[in-house]
Chains A and B, each alone.
Chain A
Amino acid sequence: MTPLLLMEGISKRYGGVRALADARLECGRGRIHAVLGENGAGKSTLIKVLSGVVKPDAGTIELEGKPLVFATPAAATRAGIVSVFQELSLLPDLTVADNIGIVDPPKKWGMIDQRAQRRRAEAALARVGAADIHPLARVRDLPLSRRQMVEIAKALARDPKVLILDEATSALTAADVAEVFKVLRQLREEGLAIVFISHRMHEIAELADDCSVYRNGSHVATFASGTKSPGEIIEMMIGRDVESVFPTRPAKRQAEAPALKVTNLSWADRLKNIDFEVRPGEIVGLGGLDGQGQRDLLLALFGALTGVGGSVAVNGKVVTLSSPRSTKLPGGGIALIPEDRKTEGLMLAMSVRDNLSFAAIDQFSRFGLIDRQAEEAAIGEMIRLLRIRADGIDGPVAALSGGNQQKVVIGKWLMTKPQIILLNDPTRGVDVGTKQELYQLLRVLAEARAAVLFYSTDYAELIGCCDRVLILYDGAIVRVLEREDMNERNIVASAHNLATTVAEVPS
């Protein structure tokens, strides 16, 4: 019997980065298929290809034995493949009923039949057990977990043959998850194929019939759920290709007063009672699955969030962080190397020179006038330190390669001589050579007694660079790994909040 859905030989490159190579996914009728892999293993790209968002460079998709080609998400939906995305695809200003009926609304005399649409929305909401959501409420006014339920109801209202849930449960409360699982099991009985991505291993164990593991854009294995232990699955997700590109770690330092001390930090429901310290000269990693609060933590320390609870002390003094400007403290402030250098790090159209001096401009100006000589000297020094290709120093920063752009972003903050450096996944989309230079640079900065807090989605990087790694899960620090405990197995296990498996691992 032919499988309901078959994807074969799917390859996709973004620029020089390989996202998927000859990947495969096979899904039967009435099966729930879990897709597993680390951050960057290619899961998301695979799902995007399947839902028509991304066009693959090579490969075929077959549904019920018939080959499919689609150019847009709408075409995929028409073919019967419907996704519930991690990033919401709801229209915030429209009502719940409008959102659920957005693609193929019931019509009367060529107009949308509001009453029929409302009835349909009510039925769809009741089906996922979210009858408490009013169909006329604006989506913008709903809390996140309710929005996610609307998203699932919207997907079901399209009568899919294949339903894809990409991290669709991560924003839900436990009661909602139970409700959604009930619906998914019922849909399985009705013969749907369900592709399920979740970082919560216990959800997968509870729900999935089959599992496929991906690593570095390739398919590793497919097996029936329950036939492998979590330890074996993690082994498959990690694989073996850790490169030795990292600088040697210095010997353990004497304990000294922390440069940064965070006590009981909380924000909205995204950060929960976070306590940790970073000493001068120390590189502390932030690990865990993507989106567990790491970015929010860095933003909170950089004064970019409002309503943050708890306290932050720099060199023993409690500081109020009310804006990024307020993080410029006497004796060296806090610097954040942002995640998206193109929007948050650089003024792309301005010159490399101007970009470098922006953050530190106060230091070379008097009464609002810039001391050009001091500025020149500082810029020259930074270009030498970072080995930025200097031929385009007066040209727009947009003309530099990704790696050199990233160096400019870092250089811009180093100009302020910060005591505390926060890095938000700085090596994403950067070539290997520059990555290596950045690792060296982190050590140099630490040697100069900066305290470094380093978030990376690449576990190998955390192991290679950091003195300690804090693992976040659901907005809280669930584990601190040090020295000999810092290996991929432990990081992956604690990232999935699997404390029990960790205990079994011999160190």
Chain B
Amino acid sequence: MKRDWSFWLAANRGPLIAAVLSVAMFTLFASQHPAGFSLNIVNTAANKGALLAFVAIAQTIPVLTSGLDLSVGMVFVLENCLASTLVVGSPLQTALGVAAVLASGLLCGALNGLIVVVGRLQPIIATLATGAIYYGIALLVRPAPGGAVNEDFADFITGSVGDAVPFSLILLVAVVLFIWIPYRRSVLGRAAYAIGSSEQAAYMSGVPVARAKFLSYVLAGFFAAIAGLLLTGLTYSGEANALLGGSYTLSSIAAVVVGGTSLYGGSGGAIGTIFGAFVLRTIGDLLFVFDMDPLWQPLFLGIVLLISVSLGSFRLLRVKKRVDLYR
């Protein structure tokens, strides 16, 4: 009989590849950096990577149910604008502001969930529309770039703890340990995988389909809001930047795929996505240390994406009914 770990290995092949790739790329980057390996470099890279990682975790959960959330980037931008007005003043006021930002992220996710579950609209079109709405609200909140943020708070979330470990990495680990893993092992978390694997079979097996789908979008809103806070910490201001929102939405999908989560749903997870996000972010840094024109970055990103998607398509070689290829 096969060993337990061989099944674990087979189930986590995609995330493992992403993990190995991201560690290798980062090591290469740090060793080649002209300024040498320093805390500053690690901290900057961690913040950049974590920013995308949170948006991509947000994307992962609806994707697991074989949905998609095109509004994550816009929620991210909206929360940035809200944070630049709410996360100010005394420590208490700042704390309340943070809570309000996270709550409004949950609310955005809940609206998406309601439309997808109760309205039975296709997630892709429902979230495209709500994304535009969230961006509209962001513009109303902050018509021109600006605002302010409690700078002690901003420096704390973007700095390093004990001058050693970037806070953003600690936050990522904490989210994995205290939100992702419990979710993954909860009934509703497994229901998300079940729905993505086969919604019909999930329904027939008595899985709480509606609740699990709703929760997946709510969580997406929450994680996008965390990313919004982090962005505010980095920029000390807010901006209703549609380009930024759109590019984060697309990059989040790319990070999900590179991280080994299937766009068909049912397999993968947030841990792989985090590595996927770091892979994507490190490509730009690598080009920088090897003195290549930043113009090359989109091209390399595309190649990395293509290769990782191809890795997932080998199963098609085993298809016996040609019509099954066209489903």
Interface residues of A (CB under 8 A from B): 53, 72-74, 77-78, 85, 88-95, 98-99, 102-103, 105, 107, 110-112, 114, 132, 134, 136-138, 141, 154, 267-268, 299, 303-307, 323-324, 344
Contact = CB atoms under 8 A, between A and B. Distances in A.
A contact face: mostly helix, strand, loop, or mixed: loop
Interface in B9-28: 10-11
Interface in B148-195: 182, 185-187, 190, 193-194
B8 interface: yes
B202 to A, nearest CB: 6
B187 A105 contact: yes
Interface residues of B, number: 34
A89 B322 contact: no
B295 interface: no
B214 to A, nearest CB: 17
B266 A103 contact: no
13 contacts: A53-B204, A72-B206, A74-B206, A89-B201, A92-B201, A102-B194, A105-B187, A107-B187, A136-B8, A154-B205, A305-B322, A306-B320, A307-B320
B319 A91 contact: no
Contacts of B202: 91, 102
Given A112-B185, A138-B11, A305-B322, A89 B204 contact: yes
B1 A134 contact: yes
Q: Which residue, of A93, A141, A154, A306, has the highest number of chain B Cβ atoms within 10 A?
A: A93
Contacts of B182: 110-111
A102 B207 contact: yes
A91 B205 contact: yes
B321 interface: yes
A88 B201 contact: yes
Contacts of B194: 91, 94, 98, 102
Closest A-B pairs by Cβ, 5 of them: A74-B206, A93-B266, A93-B197, A136-B7, A89-B204
B186 A110 contact: yes
B203 interface: yes
A95 B7 contact: yes
B185 A305 contact: no
B181 to A, nearest CB: 8
Interface string B308-321: 00000000000111
A237 B205 CA distance: 32
B196 interface: yes
B322 A94 contact: no
Given A103-B205, A154-B205, A306-B321, 16 more contacts: A73-B205, A74-B206, A89-B201, A89-B204, A91-B193, A91-B197, A95-B11, A103-B206, A107-B187, A110-B182, A112-B185, A136-B4, A138-B10, A299-B321, A304-B321, A344-B323
A107 B186 CA distance: 9
B267 interface: yes
Nearest to A132: B1
Contacts of B193: 91, 93-94, 98
- Which of A53, A77, A136, A299 has the most chain B CB within a 10 Å cutoff? A136
Contact of A112 (B2, B8, B187): B187
A102 B205 contact: yes
Contacts of A268: 320
B201 A90 contact: yes
Contacts of A103: 205-207
Given A73-B204, A95-B7, A102-B194, A112 B186 contact: yes
Contacts of A138: 7, 10-11
A340 to B, nearest CB: 11
Interface in B227-273: 262, 265-267
A306 B317 CA distance: 10
Contacts of A95: 7, 11
B185 A92 contact: no
A88 B204 CA distance: 10
A77 B320 CA distance: 35
B198 interface: yes
A107 B185 CA distance: 9
A294 B206 CA distance: 33
Nearest to B10: A138
A112 B190 contact: yes
**Which has the most chain B C-beta neighbours within 10 Å: A91, A304, A324?**
A91
Interface of B: 1-2, 4, 7-8, 10-11, 182, 185-187, 190, 193-194, 196-198, 201-208, 262, 265-267, 319-323
A137 B201 CA distance: 18
A111 B185 contact: yes
A102 B202 CA distance: 9
A99 B321 CA distance: 26
A89 B199 CA distance: 10
B197 A85 contact: no
Contacts of A154: 205
Contact of A89 (B2, B7, B190, B205): B205
Contacts of B267: 93
Given A85-B204, A134-B1, A136-B4, A92 B266 contact: yes
B1 A73 contact: no
A94 B185 CA distance: 13
Query: Most chain-B CB neighbours within 10 Å: which of A137, A154, A323, A344?
Result: A137
B7 A134 contact: yes
Contacts of A92: 197-198, 201, 266
A298 to B, nearest CB: 12
Contacts of B10: 138, 141
A305 B320 contact: yes
A88 B213 CA distance: 22
Contacts of A94: 190, 193-194, 197, 266
A313 B168 CA distance: 68
Contacts of B205: 73, 89, 91, 99, 102-103, 154
A141 B7 CA distance: 11
Contacts of A98: 190, 193-194
A222 B11 CA distance: 49
Contact of B322 (A110, A111, A303): A303
A4 B68 CA distance: 46
Nearest to A344: B323
Contacts of A304: 321-323
Contacts of A99: 205
A195 to B, nearest CB: 17
A119 to B, nearest CB: 14
B207 to A, nearest CB: 6
A335 to B, nearest CB: 16
Contacts of A134: 1-2, 7
Nearest to B5: A136
Given A73-B203, A94-B197, A305 B2 contact: no
A21 to B, nearest CB: 26
A52 to B, nearest CB: 9
A267 B201 CA distance: 27
A32 B200 CA distance: 29
B322 A323 contact: yes
Nearest to B268: A93
Contacts of A303: 322
Contacts of B322: 303-306, 323-324
Nearest to A53: B204
Most chain A beta carbons < 10 A, residue from B2, B202, B203, B321: B321
Contacts of A89: 201, 204-205
A299 B322 CA distance: 9
A142 to B, nearest CB: 12
A111 B1 CA distance: 28
Nearest to A74: B206
